[in-house]
Chains A and B, each alone.
Chain A
Amino acid sequence: MKSKSRIFVLIIFFVFLFLPIYWMINMSLRTNADILHTLALYPTDPTFANYIKIFTDSDWYSGYINAIIYVTINTLISLTVALPAAYAFSRYRFMGDTQVFFWLLTNRMAPAAVFLLPFFQLYTTVGLLDTHIAVALAHCLFNVPLAVWILEGFMSGIPREIDETAFIDGCTMPRFFITIFIPLIRAGIGVTAFFCFMFSWVELLFARTLTITNAKPISAVMTRTISATGLDWGLLAAAGVLTIVPGALVIWFVRNYMAKGFALGRV
């Protein structure tokens, strides 16, 4: 491609990417009355009233805290559970290994809607409904298989001679795992944590269904606002902007690793 048409394509696409986000930010800085009254390309009279409301109303800000709590719990559980399993898949051949691996992957592909009703019943029965742990566990459905898959890829890249040497030197499995192996796949664990965080953070269906008040995440609070009568657009937009922030922060921190990873030809 000629460099002019390259830049043209990129600019068009990036404008397309930014416009909707920009529009939401624009809305979030205006009052509802202002929004409904005039269509302005930029906020003529910017106000932080919507943000202030979110940060002072516990209904709103606890939504963020709840979401961050269950996302963190989910990431931790997924990693802990997936590490040994990924090790088994990358190092051993055993009866039914490919079948189990495939079956795990099917859970990643399972429609969340299928599990909605049974989850609701199950968590009600065991008394976990409306707790952070319930959402965290529900998200394990798709995050654990994903974590196993990604970690397995990273582990297979590490020569098995390292394991063998350690065992010959009399290192026990748990010790080897914690002191030698885990440091070796740091990068892989980072990538996996990133993906677990991301998928748990963006999910709506389970998070909305399995929580009522105590653990209600921001996404559920937002959908409630949408369906409520007398929609407050400015407030909704501000809440939306705030849900973008954690993702944007994460990307900002990993941007250099991304560029490096891509330069090496790996994702």
Chain B
Amino acid sequence: MARIEFNEVAHSYLKNPKGDADYALKRIHNAWEDGGAYALLGPSGCGKTTLLNIISGLVNPSKGKVLYDGREVAGLSPEKRNIAQVFQFPVLYDTMTVFDNLAFPLRNRGTAKAEVEKRVREVAEILDLTHFLNQRAAGLAADAKQKISLGRGLVRSNVAAILFDEPLTVIDPHLKWHLRRKLKEIHEQLKLTLIYVTHDQVEALTFADKVVVMYEGEIVQTGTPEDLFENPEHTFVGYFIGSPGMNFLPCKIDGNMARIDGAKIPLDEKTAVMARNVREKLELGIRPMYLEVTPFAVENGVPVQIVLIEDQGSHKIVSVKLAGQLVRAVVPEDKPVPEGKAWIVFPQQKIKLFADKRLLKSEGATL
């Protein structure tokens, strides 16, 4: 087990990277605490897998340092780093039995026979693989195969971390849930550092204590699932987390008001003060579930045109037009929704302002 630290790490697959665009990872400065369960979340091609491979040592970063418990590991092979990695597709040694598959990493390290036997049995027990032990690994179902891949990581005593690269892609939906729970159990039992790459927000939010959101080769935010939902630090996080994603409206500041074309939305004093000093492009962001839709004019209400109502069963998603912009609001199932003209209210404490895509926050404010 170890604390893994990234010190100004950047990586490009090209030999002579020129601009930022040539880098798969731009600048990562981050720490993974010992025993934490992390999810690395982001769209395809955002650099998640590269980051994972840098941790495990399959890829050497072009710049920066990787530290394990404060010790630099540059040039150390994956084997020496004592990392376990589970890939998107199950990787098995087809000709071996399940037992031999699990024993393989230990035998490569010259572990004594009795010890191998003991460890393999223990791990098989944890992963419910005991009865497959003498079968050929090639004939098993996808979920059992993934468990074996995981098992090959777990058999080694004191692995520094277990890395998962979208491990549930090939698993049937009803088994996904089971396997994810198994992972949580193992995490609680063994207190291992887990880093889990996925592009599925549900998977990330249910699995991890801390979610790391990546976007275009950068970490845009690290936080608990709740943090990410309530205080997205980057428009991408707002858009990516939650369904539907956050609404973003380009705006200008006028006194204590945010102006969106003709419409005026009142802001609280603090936010308005901060916003007045900003020179970059401003956007107003709000979660659809915090918007209130009313059929009649109310104080601070903004008149809108209703475009579409989608009934989702437990709630409705109402799309409205506000000064030419499309805004979505989530309305509880039991609340009636007017047709045609309506008013929406932006609760002041839920409004976030983003300058050049990054959250505007007061100096010294912590999240």
Q: Do the two chains touch directly in the complex (Cβ atoms below 8 Å apart)?
A: no
Chain A residues in the interface with B (C-beta under 8 A): none
